[in-house]
Amino acid sequence: MARKTGSHSEITGPRIRAAAAQLFARHGYAAVSMRQIAAEVGVQAGALYLYTPDKQTLLFDLMRSHLEELLSAWAAEPVSADPVARLEEFCRFHIRFHLDRPDAVFIAYMELRNLEPENFAAIEALRKTYEDALETILKDGATRKQFTVPDTKLATMAVIAMLTGVNTWYREGGRLSRERIERIYWNMVRRSVGA
């Protein structure tokens, strides 16, 4: 298919998103300029506006697609009926998914302040949907007397904070394999909810 010289719409869009994700994660949204993103991609700043209406939308789209991917990946996981097995699936899935996308996780977590109110509400709704997935597991286990959790909401927040915390210290090729990390964290979570 014939195409004019210098025409790369199918590839430039994703490259802009990738460059923005990397730079936002490394230096923070507010500290990164459109010029820096453009330089990383190898185009001029003005060209970015063919792919995003503004910088804010670029951030929002990164966060939204990350959370939507998170939700659909979790929906695609196998489903155990037993709450203990289900909780193990959640823990291992969460660690695995988050370690694979450190930049996106960092942004979705640190840049909430820089979202305009409407965008913030949309992102928070997606995050809440994910938290609800865990809370449902904990409630189910509590009902069946397999977990001991005096407050499922608190336990949900505690478990997610613990698991997401892996991203703050994990380094590729470090002392521990992912499988070992998953196992250790799963054991801590399991005991913390009294399973």
CB of 47 to DNA, least distance (A): 4
Residues whose CB falls within 8 Å of the CB of residue 90, separated by 6 or more in sequence, listed in order? 74, 133, 134, 137
With both helix axes pointing from N to C terminus, report the angle between 83-100 and 102-110 in degrees, rounded to the nearest 10: 100
Q: Which of residues 157-176 bind a second copy (CB under 8 A)?
A: 157-162, 164-166, 168-169, 176
Which two structure tokens, joined as six digits, stand for 177? 């394999």
33 touches which of DNA, a second copy, none (CB within 5 to 8 A by kind)? DNA
Of the listed pieces 20-28, 50-58, 90-98, 178-186, which binds DNA according to CB under 7 A? 50-58
136 touching DNA, by CB under 7 A? no
CB of 128 to a second copy, least distance (A): 11
CA distance 158 to 192: 9
56 touching DNA, by CB under 7 A? yes
Of 79, 87, 93, 78, nearest to 146 (Cα)? 87
Cβ-contact 23, 36 below 8 angstroms: yes
Cα within 13 Å of Cα(71), Cβ side: 15
Closest to DNA by CB, 22 or 167 = 22
Phi-psi region of 77 (alpha: psi -120 to 50; beta: other; left: phi over 0): beta
Which residue in 67, 155, 182, 186 binds a second copy (CB under 8 A)? 155
Closest to a second copy by CB, 51 or 147 = 147
Which residue in 35, 128, 144, 153 binds DNA (CB under 7 A)? 35
Residues found near a second copy in the complex (CB under 8 A): 26-31, 110, 113-114, 150-151, 154-155, 157-162, 164-166, 168-169, 176, 181, 184-185, 187-189, 191-194
